[in-house]
Amino acid sequence: MERAAVVAAALVAVLVSVLAPAATAQMDSCSGELPPSLVGNYSGLACQPVWNNFVLRYHQDKNNVLRVVLSTMYSTGWVGMGFSRDGLMVGSSAMVGWMGRKGLPHIRQFALRGKSGSKKDVAVDRGFLVSNDHDHTVVVSQAKIFVAFQLRFPYRLSHQHIILAFGSGIPVNNKLSKHQDKTSFTFDFTTGKTFADGAFPYALRRAHGGLNLFAWGILMPIGAILARYFRRMDPLWFYLHVGIQFVGFIIGLAGVVAGVALYNKIQADIPAHRGLGIFVLFLGILQVLAFFLRPNTDSKYRKYWNWYHHWAGRLTLFFAAVNIVLGIHVGGNHSSWQIGYGFNLAILLVAVIALEFMLWTRWSKDSAPTPTY
C-alpha cells in the first residue's frame, strides 16, 4: 500500500510538472513584449493565442487598416497567414515571412492558386490583399519569429477565414517549400474569438440581417408611404397600412430573435448595434400598442395621438435605417449587401420626394381635409 501511494504521488508530480508549464505558457503567451523594432508601428494591439504556439496580435482602425503581428517559435523555415473567402486554401492570399540564409528578413504576399507548390500555383507578389510593402517586417527574437504587416480592406473585417501554416525549408527565389503543418479556422476580429471552420453560424447571421432588412428597411417604409400619400384610396390605404406594418413587425421580431440567438453563440461586443436594435424594437412595440389604444376621430385626444403616432413612426424608420447600415458594416458583409440596401434606399427616397411634391401640389389646389384613422 505504501509503495502504491508513493507511485501515485510520483505520477501526480509528473503530471503537474508537465501540464502546469503548458497551461502557464498558454496563459503567458500574450504577456511577452514585442521586439523594440516593432513597438512604434505595432503597439496597442489586441492579443489572442490561436493555434499551438501561434499568437495573433491585431488591430483594425476606422479606415479598415488591419495591423497584424503573427508570432511563433522559430528556428528556420517560413511562417504564413492566409486570408480566404471560403475557408479553402486554393483561392486565398497569404502573407509569408522568413529569415533568409544571410540573416535578412523577407515578407511577401502569395496567391495560392493550386496545390502543386509550383510558382504558378503559389505565385509571389500576387493576391487580393491590399498592402503597403514599407509597413511589413520580420523580426526574430528569443527563438520567436514575428511577422508584422498591415492590410487595407474595403470593409470592416469581422469574421474572417484564416489559414496558418509553416514550413521548415528556407524559400529560395521566393519558392515556398511544402508546409509541415497547417490549420484553418474563422477568426472574429471584433471579439477575438476563434471558431473551427463550419462552426460559425453564418446562416443565423444571414437570417438576422435578411429578416431585419426586409422588415424594417422595406416593408415598413412602404407601409408608411401608403399612409401618407395614398389616403384618397379610402379605406383601402388604411387596411394596407395596418396589414403591411403588422407583417413587417412580426418579421422584424423574428429577426430580433435571430439576433439574440446569434449573440448567445458568438458574444459579439457591438453595443451600438445592439442598443439601436433594442430602441427600434421598443418604438415598434409602442406603435403596435398605439393601434389598439387609438381614440375615436372626434376625441379631443385624437390630435395628440396623431402627433405621437406619426413622429414615433418616423423615428422608428430613421433609426432602423441607421442600424441596418451599421449592421452591414460591423457584420463585414460583402458589397452585395451594401449595393442592395443602397439601391433600396435610393428607390424609397426618390419615391418619397416625388410623392411629397405631388402631395403639396394637390394640397395647394385642394384644401379639403382627408379622413383620419
Distance CA(51)–CA(180), nearest Å, equals 14
Q: Which position has the higher pLDDT, 190 or 238?
A: 238
All residues at 6 or more sequence positions from 26 whose CB lies less than 8 Å from its CB, including other chains: 49
pLDDT at residue 132 tops 80? no
Query: Which of 9-13, 114-118, 130-134, 352-356 is least confident?
Result: 9-13
**Number of CB atoms found within 10 A of residue 240's CB:** 16
Per-residue pLDDT at 262: 82
Angle at 220 between CA 217 and CA 222, to 5 degrees: 95
Distance CA(205)–CA(186), nearest Å, equals 14
310 labeled part of a ligand binding site: no
134 labeled part of a ligand binding site: no
The region, left, alpha or beta by phi > 0 then psi within -120 to 50, assigned to residue 223 is alpha
Closest CA relative to residue 273, chosen from 211, 319, 214, 207: 319
Per-residue pLDDT at 297: 81
Question: What stretch(es) of the chain map to CATH 2.60.40.1210?
Answer: 36-195
Distance CA(123)–CA(109), nearest Å, equals 8
Contact (CB, 8 A) for 242 and 291? yes
Per-residue pLDDT at 248: 94
**Number of CB atoms found within 10 A of residue 144's CB:** 15
Distance CA(156)–CA(270), nearest Å, equals 13
pLDDT at residue 9 tops 60? no
The residue whose grid cell reads 503530471 is 15
pLDDT at residue 134 tops 70? no
201-366: CATH, from 1.10.10.60, 1.20.1050.10, 1.20.120.1770, 3.30.70.600 = 1.20.120.1770
Distance CA(201)–CA(206), nearest Å, equals 9
pLDDT one-digit tens code per residue, 198-250: 556 778 888 999 999 999 999 999 999 999 898 888 889 999 999 999 999 99
Looking at domain 36-195, its CATH superfamily turns out to be Cellobiose dehydrogenase, cytochrome domain (2.60.40.1210)
Per-residue pLDDT at 240: 94
Distance CA(120)–CA(78), nearest Å, equals 19
pLDDT at residue 20 tops 50? no
Read off the C-alpha cell for 290: 398605439
The residue whose grid cell reads 498591415 is 150
136 labeled part of a ligand binding site: no
Mean pLDDT highest for which of 44-53, 132-141, 357-366?
44-53
Averaged pLDDT of the chain: 81
Contact (CB, 8 A) for 89 and 64? no
Question: What stretch(es) of the chain map to CATH 1.20.120.1770?
Answer: 201-366
Per-residue pLDDT at 189: 84
- For residues 264-290, give the mean pLDDT: 85
β-strands 194-196, 181-188 pairing: antiparallel
Distance CA(177)–CA(169), nearest Å, equals 6
DSSP 70: E
Distance CA(238)–CA(244), nearest Å, equals 10
pLDDT at residue 255 tops 90? yes
* Residues of the chain above pLDDT 90, percent: 26
pLDDT at residue 4 tops 50? no
Neighbour-count burial of 141, counting CB atoms closer than 10 A to its CB (0-12 exposed, 13-18 middle, 19+ buried): middle
pLDDT at residue 8 tops 50? no
Closest CA relative to residue 373, chosen from 236, 220, 247, 246: 236
pLDDT at residue 183 tops 50? yes
- For residues 350-368, give the mean pLDDT: 81
Per-residue pLDDT at 22: 34
- For residues 145-167, give the mean pLDDT: 86
Q: Which position has the higher pLDDT, 44 or 333?
A: 44
Q: Alpha-carbon dihedral of residues 330, 331, 332, 334, nearest 10 degrees?
A: -130
- For residues 186-203, give the mean pLDDT: 76
Closest CA relative to residue 213, chosen from 175, 159, 251: 251
Q: Which position has the higher pLDDT, 154 or 244?
A: 244
Distance CA(143)–CA(100), nearest Å, equals 15
Query: Which of 8-12, 31-35, 327-331, 332-336 is least confident?
Result: 8-12
Task: State how far the alpha carbon of 184 is from the alpha carbons of 57, 92, 158, in Å.
Answer: 17, 12, 16
pLDDT at residue 63 tops 70? yes
Q: Would you call 177 helix, strand, or coil by DSSP?
A: coil
Q: Is the pTM of this model over 0.85?
A: no
Task: State how far the alpha carbon of 217 is from the alpha carbons of 208, 274, 345, in Å.
Answer: 13, 17, 8
pLDDT at residue 117 tops 80? no
